[in-house]
Each structure stands twice: as C-alpha cells, then as structure tokens.
Amino acid sequence: MLITRLTVPPPHPDRWPFTIPAVRHLADGLDITAPVTFLVGENGSGKSTLIEAIADVCGINAEGGKAGTRYASTTAATPLGRALHAEFTTAGLRLIRGPRTQRRAFFFRAETLFTIAQNVSGLPGFWQEDLTKQSHGEGFFTVLDRMVTGPGLYLMDEPEAALSFTSCLRLVALMDQVAREGGQIVCATHSPVLAGLPGAQILELDDDGIHRVEWKDLHLVDHWRRFLEAPDAYLRHVLAP
C-alpha cells in the first residue's frame, strides 16, 4: 500500500466541489484498504473530481500523465486537490514524492490521453509507438502496458472508455498483476467487468456520500443484469412510441 487514507479537514466552503456528498464524506476520512480501489457512481457523483485531487496530492497534473513531468497546459491544483490530505506509507513517500526521476506514479485519464500523447510519445520513459497509427483501444493498451507496471501508484479515470469486453478482461489481468507486484491502483469506472476484480475495494459514491459495497450489490451491476435480461423494460422509458 502506498496511500492509506484520504481526508478533507473541515470547515468546507459552501461551493463546488465541497457541496458534493462524496466530498463532504471525506471530512471523516476515507480508508484505502486494498491495492486496487474502484470508485463507482453516477455521472456527477464526484469520482473524477476525487481522482484529480489525488493526482494533485501526488504531484501529477490533473490532466493526466506521469508524476514529475511538466508538459500539460496547466499546473494549477484543483480546488479539492488543494484541500485534500493523503496519508502515505514509507514506500508511498519514496515512490510518489521522492526524487523526480525515481517517482513511480501515472494518471491514466481517458479524456485527455491522446492530447498528452502528442507531447510525450517517443520520449524516454514513455511509449515509443505512434498512437495515431493505432485504433483507439490499441492506443489505450499501448499506454497501459508501458506505464502501468510494477510498484507505483496508478490512477485511472474511466480506462474502459475505448475498450471492448475482451480488452476489459485484459485490463483486469493487468490490474491484478500490478497489485501482486506491489503497486496500487485507484480507478473511477462505470464498468462492472473492471469492478469485478477479486479482492478489490469497491466504493460507491451517491447522494449520501461514499459507501463500501460488494460487487453483487452495486447499483451498476444490478442495472446491467436487469437490462441484459430484459432490454425492453428499460428502453420503453427512453424511446419514442
């Protein structure tokens, strides 16, 4: 484990993002108890906001990328990132806040990955392939295979965005391997496949804050199960008669 607890000490300003229930929940602290932690919830529940803040605390630009590398268009910390307090283990301090060239932390953010790739593809310490010559999903895995490996902190925001069902299973295997090698992953996702990784900590974000849940009890899993069994039960509410 590299990060064991996240806290946003009160008082909290009466403005976004501190009005998000999941962020207010952090006043009491949030324990990170497994090498792989999934943040699951509806759009707007605070998943990406929290991942970005963790990136800020770890010296990674909130746009995504590698710790200690200056290439993104902005270096200003997010509002939550300025308030968030993280508790690190000794190994975490060494890998995340040690000498810049020895840091092992990467933020895989699907939304900005290909913009960042324009600046770093081919540079030492990154991937050598030209992502523009690969499919979207192939490009994702080029980066994942190169940057998410061994001991280190790996933040992910919706990495399943370009991945097929089979590729999501491949990512589950990669996450398991990283955990076994001493790495730690915090991942915001809408994928029931990724969240199904055995032994992972699953945190569901909703209007009441943050709750630890089992995979089978996730609202996400329940909705997918019901939809696959009877699509019409959902589609009749959203399609014109």
d(CA 38, CA 88): 19
Confidence category of residue 128, pLDDT binned at 50, 70, 90 = confident
Average pLDDT over residues 110-134: 80
Q: pLDDT over 90 for what percent of the chain? A: 73
pTM of the model: 0.94
DSSP of 186-215, one letter per residue? EEEE--HHHHT-TT-EEEEEETTEEEE--G
Instruction: Express each pLDDT in 66-78 by its tens digit.
Output: 877 654 455 578 9
Task: Scan for tokens 């995340």, then name that residue.
Answer: 96
The pLDDT assigned to 34 comes to 98
Confidence category of residue 112, pLDDT binned at 50, 70, 90 = confident
The pLDDT assigned to 135 comes to 87
**Amino acid in the structure at residue 19:** T
Average pLDDT, the chain: 92
Q: Which domains does the chain have, with CATH numbers?
A: 3-112+151-235 (3.40.50)
Q: Is the pLDDT of residue 107 over 80?
A: yes
